[in-house]
Amino acid sequence: MRNRTGKLILSFLFMFNLSTFAQESQMTTQSPKVSPLQPRRLVDCPTAGLLPRASFDFDIRIYPEGGVVFGLDIGLMRRFMVGMSFGGENVIGEGEPDWNPRIEFAAKYRLINESWALPAFVIGYDSQGDGAYDDSLNRYTYKSKGFYAVISKGYTMGEVPVGFHVGANYSLENDDKDKDIAVFFGADFRLGDNLGVVAEYDLGTNDDKAKELFGQGYGYLNAGIQWIFSEKLFLQFELKNLLLNRKDVSTWGRGFRIVYFESF
């Protein structure tokens, strides 16, 4: 009788531990921890990534002619983030900086969260362009996205996390009489714990009419290599305008980006 009771107790304990292990494994599989550094931007193109609620990041972008743009993004809610930025040319170097005419603002709201079947879908606004500001046409060298919509979907290829992104935008920088809607797409790859690669292509259909000054009709192809120092800090070296989509350039643009993340 004692042996039978002991066997029943041991069987019960074994089944209890097995059930607990299965539940914990299921919770881990279904509720993975999302990295706070999920991509929110590739190079110039936004993604459907958001900052977690009650968090912020500092984003410093360095571009040719001593240009620097300082940005601050804040995750206000689970599906909503806002940001502001300001910068100018000749910030790094000698002489007086040539500051941009105003502070720029951004906002992003996620309408659909990513699931097994559906991509994440966001709408947003961003008035910060890149490069020098042209006062005669009231625009940046590379136009801001203005109003945009993006879908993003993540996959795992082998052990490599990959994200694909497709979007469209309508820029308010249209004093050049080019008011077309632009389409862009891109991808990000995470190669190990410390290395990432991003690439994007903007068809540039809203920047191909003033050809003597800006877009030549080839679109803008950009790429970047990330060094992910930690979950709170990454550095990104960028190659811009690989198709030389401007009449006044003969080589690729080069830039550098520093992003630091923190929670409240």
Condensed to tens digits (0 to 9), the pLDDT of residues 244-253 reads: 998 888 899 9
As given in the structure block, the two tokens for residue 153 are 């979907």
Q: What is the pLDDT of residues 36-78, one digit of tens each?
A: 567 899 999 999 999 999 999 999 999 988 999 999 999 999 9
Ordered DSSP codes for 68-127: EEEEEEEEEETTEEEEEEEEEESSSSSS--EE-SS-EEEEEEEEE---SSS-EEEEEEE-
The percent of residues in the chain predicted with pLDDT above 70, rounded, is 86
Three-state secondary structure of 111-127: EECCCCCCCEEEEEEEC
CATH number of residue 150's parent domain: 2.40.160.40
pLDDT at 41: 94
- Domain extent, residue 52, equals 37-263
* CA gap 170, 173 in Å, rounded: 9
Say if 222 falls within a structural domain: yes
For range 8-32, the mean pLDDT: 38
Position 179 pLDDT exceeds 70:
yes
Average pLDDT estimate for 175-198? 93
Whether 11 is in a domain gets the answer: no
As for how many domains the chain has, the answer is 1
pLDDT at 1 over 90: no
Dihedral (Cα; 206, 209, 213, 219), 10-degree rounding: 50
Q: Compute the mean pLDDT over every residue in the chain, rounded to the nearest whole number.
A: 86
Q: Where are the alpha helices (DSSP H) in the chain?
A: 2-30
The closest alpha carbon to 150, from 164, 160, 171, belongs to 164
Structural domain includes residue 2: no
Q: Is residue 13 part of a domain?
A: no
- Distance in angstroms (rounded) separating the CA atoms of residues 229 and 235: 7
Please check whether residue 17 lies inside any domain of the structure.
no
Q: Is 155 within the bounds of a domain?
A: yes
Q: What is the pLDDT of residue 209?
A: 82
Nearest-angstrom CA–CA distance, 17 and 29: 18
pLDDT at 114 (0 to 100): 94
- Is 87 among the domain residues? yes
Report the C-alpha gap between 67 and 253 in whole angstroms.
Answer: 12
**pLDDT confidence tier of residue 94, bands split at 50, 70 and 90:** confident
Question: Can you tell me the mean pLDDT for 7-26?
Answer: 39
Tell me the pLDDT tens digit for each residue of 213-246.
788 889 999 999 999 998 899 999 999 999 999 8
Report the amino acid identity of residue 90: N
The per-residue pLDDT for 122 is 98
- Give domain status of residue 1, yes or no: no
> For residue 199, what is the enclosing H or E element?
strand 195-202
Mean pLDDT, range 97-103, rounded to an integer: 95
pTM for the model stands at: 0.83
